[in-house]
Structure 1
Amino acid sequence: MSENRFPKRVYGTGDEPDPRFSLANERTFLAWIRTSLALIAGGVALEALSVPIAPGFRLAAALVLIAAGILAPLQAWFGWARVEKAMREARPLPGTLFAPAIAAVASVVGVLLLLGYFLR
């Protein structure tokens, strides 16, 4: 009964995929949500704890983490929908759009913390 399922733009197309694949796609969605929570918690912890680095660098790193944590649920939702629709239409699965950004965030935060440590 795909007419009662949300979002219709995903469930209103193609054929029902193997449930194992849909459930794996949901687990990936939840992994992005956990990643989002961890990024936000890391940003808050940097500012809440007495991390011995230059305050400007600490704040910048915290803000980068929190911003990435705010964007990660968007990747979760749109990534889930893109993959689910591709499975329903028997197309190749799309890659994630946000994984390279998460790698860049980790690198930027690492550099900010390293600089903040040496310039304190």
Structure 2
Amino acid sequence: MERDPDYRFTLANERTFLAWLRTALSLLAAGVAVVQLVPAFSITGARTALGVTLGLLSVVASVGGVVRWRRVELAMRRGETLPPVRSTVVLAAGLTVVAVAVCVLLVLGAS
């Protein structure tokens, strides 16, 4: 049976959702900035690949935020334990790949 959760928890869930959206927007802005503002690397297409990767991570963050918000809302209404967060692992792994790629590209450009 579902019941309305304490409004403070609902508002906290909404603030967390908005944080996911801010993260998605930041990732998208970073992707655009990499493609438009960063000088070309020695490897052709590297900027585009980094920009697309950041754009895809933005999609993961925005979709993950919606899914997380809905799952938490349902769990609170049903009195269940909160569901685990899975998309943070994807985001962390993706950002690690981007960071390593940037470091490699910078080292290759310096040589």
TM-score, normalised via structure 2 length: 0.89
The correspondence for 2:65, drawn from 66, 76, 84, is 76
Give the C-alpha shift of residue 52 in structure 1: 5.8
Structure 1: which 4+ aligned runs deviate by more than 6 Å? Answer: none
Q: Which amino acid aligns with 2:33?
A: A
Q: How many residue pairs get matched? A: 108
TM-score, normalised via structure 1 length: 0.83
Q: Which amino acid aligns with 1:24?
A: A
The correspondence for 1:27, drawn from 4, 11, 15, is 15
Instruction: Give the match for residue 85 of structure 1.
Output: 74
Structure 2: which 5+ runs fail to align? none
Deviations 1:16-42 (A, max 9, x none): 110000000000111111111000000
Instruction: Give the match for residue 47 of structure 1.
Output: 35
Give the C-alpha shift of residue 58 in structure 1: 2.4
The correspondence for 2:90, drawn from 90, 94, 101, is 101
Measure the CA separation in 2 of the matches of 1:98 and 1:50. Answer: 28
